[in-house]
Amino acid sequence: MSDTPDRDTLAAEYVLGCLEGEEAEHAQHLLSTDAAFVRSVEAWQQRLTPLANAAAPVWPPTSLWDRIELAIRPPAAENVVRPSLSRRLRFWQASTAGALAIAAGLAAFILLRHSEPASIAVLAPVSAGAAPVLVATAEQSGRLLLRPEGQITVPAGRDMELWALPEGESRPRSLGVLPPGGTELSAALTPQTQLLVTLEPAGGSPTGQATGPVLYKGRLTALN
């Protein structure tokens, strides 16, 4: 990228879903290589989640999506001549109180959630590369949701396994095999619990302890 944006602004755009193409790839790369950027993404998730919690569930009208597209679509000439300007326009359109992009993103979050999230974690790849991050949301009801921000490929004959390592403990406990498309499970986890994903034999670790390499890791952060 020839025009590197401010890291905090980039993190906000990533959380809001404003990034495309090279900008999205750049953010994914930072999530796997830059701990400060991961913390910035987590901070923006914490700032925006209370907005979703404060709103009542409402289905957006069909016409809203056309209006969103018109609101965030930069003119073709501007997109070629000044890519950084179109990026900043997308950010500020999404960052204002009346931005339709924020409304749609928060509406989707509200409609999909079952109860208030208590903590959240961004699980970044341990090895540098283009692998997508995993987002984990621990709800007050004891439900844990994990979803990848992209496609994850697992080698044939292997499975990913999710582990929880509460603060102050030395041995992680298995939360089960993690499908590449994400999962939903019951697990009462406290903030500061570290989440790990390892590569194990098909069906999970045969020993009850992690045997393969760590692929992803992140720590749950309280939202209130």
List CB contacts of 165: < 8 A, sequence separation 6 or more: 171, 172, 173, 193, 194, 195, 196
Q: 170: part of which helix (H) or strand (E)? A: none
Domain chopping of the chain, boundaries:
7-112, 117-222
Per-residue pLDDT band for 4 (boundaries 50, 70, 90) equals very low
In this structure, which amino acid lies at residue 143? R
Q: What is the pLDDT of residue 134?
A: 87
Distance separating alpha carbons of residues 70 and 52, to the nearest angstrom:
23
CATH of domain 117-222: 2.60.40
Q: 114: part of which helix (H) or strand (E)? A: none
More confident residue, 21 or 216: 216
Q: What pLDDT digit, counting tens, does each position of 149-171 carry?
A: 888 889 999 999 999 999 888 89
What average pLDDT score do residues 86-113 get?
A: 50
Per-residue pLDDT band for 179 (boundaries 50, 70, 90) equals very high
pTM of structure: 0.53
Q: What is the pLDDT of residue 1?
A: 45
Three-point CA angle 173, 175, 181, nearest 5°: 145
Task: Quote the tokens at residue 132.
Answer: 């997508």
Distance separating alpha carbons of residues 30 and 207, to the nearest angstrom:
34
Per-residue pLDDT band for 200 (boundaries 50, 70, 90) equals very high
| The pLDDT of residue 197 is above 60 | yes
